[in-house]
Structure 1
Amino acid sequence: MAITGVMRPGHVCIRVLEIEPAVRHYVDTIGLREVMRDTAADGSARVFLKAWDEADHHSVVLREADEAGMDYMGWKVDSDATLDKLSADVEASGLATAMSWVKEGEHPMTGRRFRFTVPTGHVMELYAHRETPGCAVGYLNPDPWPDDMHGMGARRFDHCLLYGDDLAGTFKLFTEVLGFSLTEAVVAGPDEQMIGAFLSCATKAHDVAFIQQPVKNKLHHVSFLLDNWGEVLKAADIISKRRVSLDIGPTRHGITRGETVYFFDPSGNRNEVFAGGYTWYPDKPVIKWTAEELGTGIFYHDRKLNEKFLSVFT
């Protein structure tokens, strides 16, 4: 399948309360690499990071702020022509607000970005260009991993799960305007109202997920990819060894079939490291989960919900 339009998650900007403890967490524990630092337009400190197997200049931005959470999530599109078309389509849809262009270079080595707010209150961006210094092992006869891999050794920024009130509007924007596909849905009640949507723009089980909650613009978690279940178990050991705040796991999801462990950064933002899951293609039927079986969907091993997992977000 040719991947056109929106190709993949490109970056996430995470608000942290203190920049240095956050950098140590994302570098030493998760295994990202610091690329550069600068100061945002409002004077706040920013640090740009990437995972070892990512070609682009950066994928994670930490910004020091008074409140934890997510500033925005960025999506890389296949061309300037697509960027112009999708920005016009978003404007014409009537589903987005606070639309603006962010000038080239506001993110280092990155082209212009089209920024907009979706009905759940989350800020999204589309962009077409970012310089690609390359990954840690290169592209000519590469080794399978770098000699200086550290911490959990996250391979890439993978996805976000987000909480918001207008799931229907955000779902419509992502599927009808941006071209995402629904891979799995959580439904409730006799009319099967959708309360959770797992969305893919390529071949992954999900690139972003939205859960219906009576809040605006909340981050449930930011997820990073590991290779396999063994690495997830090692990540759990690292969490204990480094005295990181553990949320839940290691365990398996029913939804997406991925293996997982959840934990918190020093500012209280939930992180996940994730492995496994299935490959999605356009002819794969949508998987449906009922609210009564949501415990199995989220935590397949013990088949019950964890209240902290549902109620803690930033």
Structure 2
Amino acid sequence: MGVLRMGYAHVRVTDMAEAKEHYANTLGLYEVLEEDGRVYYKGWDEWDHHSVVLEEGGVGLVKFGFKVQYEDDIDDIEKKAQSFGCTVARMSEGENPEVSDGIRIFTPSEHVFEVYHSQTLIGTEVGTHNPESFPRHLVGVGVPAIDHALITAADVKGMERFLTHTFGFFATERVQTSFDVDADHIGTWMTSTNQIHQLAVIQGPQGKLHHFAFKLADWTEVGHAADLFSMDEVSIDIGPTRHGITRGQTVYFFDPSGNRNEVFAGGYAAYPDRPVSIWTPDKLAKGIFYHARELNDSFTSVLT
């Protein structure tokens, strides 16, 4: 099958104590390991060892990890990435705690993507034997799992070609300069599964992170998260609102270091044969913020 999902986001933070307060007590992630200046977290409905890594010293993205279904998928992706012109390095089991061997791809957008086939299985917080619907004692928002990320690149169309060629992704939604087939791409939302998007790319500086997101169930949970962000004095960028693009419900907010997070619910089921939804620049504000139909300055300018 190839890529199953985004397995982890590894980001830098300026103050680990503040970051731990945010990710553990406001978002409700479970700390599973702390060593060598890094803290590892998982959501309550994730079964692998970790999905978020915080590293003290700076701000912004270190790398993303993508999990594949079969060990042979790694060799296939390595060959495809090299044929696309990317530098690829092998990584050994244990370089990332509890993560198998794999490869490290230096992408055309100057991001680092790691591809691996297994993590230590530690199980969800409700188990698999007659499980309850959710843990009784959730903390804060109680996010169940990481969902997707948005990055920036100078050449969006080139990154779409890379993700299609190397990961087998397909576009679900796209922002283009026109409806013409050969129009320039301003943004692309891509996946390899029924998930509406695993990774989105918008035009901007090389190697930057716009946000990484956590999944929630519905509007009620999104609104509840916004209430908790207000209680904890989390800096909210926008929301609660709805996207036109993906139809998702959202709140964007910042961790104490300035990395943008999102809680995301809804969307629709993606299929490779579904026609791509195309948005043009004159409707971009409606595509991003469906209700207000207006972009705020920080949403387009603040990157880490």
TM-score normalised by the shorter chain: which range applies?
over 0.9
Aligned match of 1:12 in 9, 26, 50?
Answer: 9
**Contact 1:167–1:195 (8 Å) recurs in 2:** yes
Aligned match of 2:62 in 52, 71, 77?
Answer: 71
One-letter code aligned to 1:178: F
One-letter code aligned to 2:157: A
Aligned match of 1:178 in 146, 163, 167?
Answer: 167
- Cα RMSD after superposing both structures: 1.1
Which secondary structure state, in structure 2, belongs to the residue aligned with residue 149 of structure 1?
coil
One-letter code aligned to 1:306: N
Residue 168 (structure 1) shift:
2.4
Q: Corresponding residue for 1:42?
A: none
Q: State the alpha-carbon separation in 2 of the partners of residues 238 and 247 from structure 1.
A: 14
Q: Corresponding residue for 1:280?
A: 270
- Measured against aligned partners, the alpha-carbon deviations of 1:152-189 in whole angstroms (never above 9, x if no partner) come to 11111001100121222221110022100100000115
**Contact 1:119–1:167 (8 Å) recurs in 2:** no
Distance 1:25 1:289, change over 3 A: same
| Uncovered stretches (5+) of structure 2, i.e. residues with no partner | none
Q: Corresponding residue for 1:136?
A: 125
Aligned match of 1:228 in 218, 226, 229?
Answer: 218
Q: State the alpha-carbon separation in 1 of the partners of residues 111 and 43 from structure 2.
A: 24
Aligned match of 1:210 in 183, 201, 213?
Answer: 201
Q: State the alpha-carbon separation in 2 of the partners of residues 31 and 255 from structure 1.
A: 27
Q: Corresponding residue for 1:197?
A: 188
Residue 313 (structure 1) shift:
0.8
One-letter code aligned to 1:51: G
Which secondary structure state, in structure 2, belongs to the residue aligned with residue 61 of structure 1?
strand
Residue 250 (structure 1) shift:
0.5
One-letter code aligned to 1:75: F
Residue 190 (structure 1) shift:
7.5
Q: State the alpha-carbon separation in 2 of the partners of residues 169 and 117 from structure 1.
A: 14
Aligned match of 1:46 in 38, 62, 65?
Answer: 38
- Measured against aligned partners, the alpha-carbon deviations of 1:11-30 in whole angstroms (never above 9, x if no partner) come to 11011011111111001111
Q: State the alpha-carbon separation in 1 of the partners of residues 228 and 44 from structure 2.
A: 18
Residue 133 (structure 1) shift:
0.8
**Contact 2:157–2:184 (8 Å) recurs in 1:** no
Residue 244 (structure 1) shift:
0.8
| Uncovered stretches (5+) of structure 1, i.e. residues with no partner | 40-44
Q: Corresponding residue for 2:47?
A: 55
**Contact 1:164–1:210 (8 Å) recurs in 2:** yes
One-letter code aligned to 1:209: A
Q: State the alpha-carbon separation in 1 of the partners of residues 243 and 134 from structure 2.
A: 26
Residue 302 (structure 1) shift:
0.8
Q: Corresponding residue for 1:21?
A: 18
Residue 304 (structure 1) shift:
1.5
Identity rate, percent:
45
